[in-house]
Amino acid sequence: MGMNNFGIAALAGALALGACATPMRRDEIVTSGSPCMPVRFDIYFRENEARLTDAAGQAINAAAGVLRTCEVRSVQVLGLADATGASEANLSLSQRRARTVAEALSAAGLPAPAFEVAAAGDAGATTAGGAAEPLRRRTEVVVDARPRR
C-alpha cells in the first residue's frame, strides 16, 4: 500500500470506528490515489452533550492530518439534535456541537479559507408520522478538498 493509500485507509478507518462515519467502500478508498477529494463524515455526541468524545477527537485529528496536505476550499459543519427536550434548547445544543467540531478541526490544523457553521436543532428529528429519527446527536462535516496545484 502506498503512502497516500495508507493515509486514506487510516482516515476512513479512524472515521468509521471513532465517529461512526458514513462507511466508504474499500475500492473507493484505495483506488482514489489521493486523500484530497471532497469528503463527508459525521461526528457523534452523547445525549445532551456538545463535548467531543475521545473517539470523536481522534477522528477529527485523523481527518485534519490527512487533509492538511490538500487545498481545502470550504468546510461545512452542521450541528443536529434529536427530538428529546425543548426545540429552543435543541437548537442551542446543535449550535454548540457545530462550534465544537469547527474549533477542533481548526485546532487540528485543517486548512480552510472559511468554516461554514450552521445548526438545525431538532428540525427533521421526527418523521411526518411522529416517529423519532435515530442518530440525530451528531454534527455533519463536509470538506471540499482538492489536490494542491
CATH number of the domain residue 73 falls in: 3.30.1330.60
Query: What average pLDDT does range 36-41 have in this prediction?
Result: 92
- Give how many domains the chain has, as a whole number: 1
pTM: 0.71
At residue 112, the pLDDT reads 72
Which residue range is the domain that position 122 belongs to? 3-146
Higher pLDDT residue, 62 or 132?
A: 62
Residues 93 and 81 sit within 8 Å (Cβ to Cβ): yes
Confidence bin at 35 (pLDDT 50/70/90): confident
pLDDT higher than 70, residue 20: no
Mean pLDDT of the chain: 77
**What pLDDT is recorded for position 113?**
77
The b/e string for 75-93 (b: 16+ C-beta within 10 A; e otherwise) is: bbbbbbbbbeeeeeebbbb
Burial of 69 (0-12, 13-18, 19+ CB in 10 A): middle
pLDDT tens digit sequence for 87-139:
888 889 999 999 999 999 999 998 777 788 988 876 766 656 666 665 678 88
| Residue whose grid cell is 461526528 | 43
Q: Residue 43 has what pLDDT?
A: 94
pLDDT the model gives residue 38: 92
Q: Which three cell numbers stand for residue 88?
A: 429552543
Query: Which of 3-12, 21-30, 40-49, 133-142 comes out lowest in average pLDDT?
Result: 3-12
- Average pLDDT rounded to a whole number, residues 45-64: 93
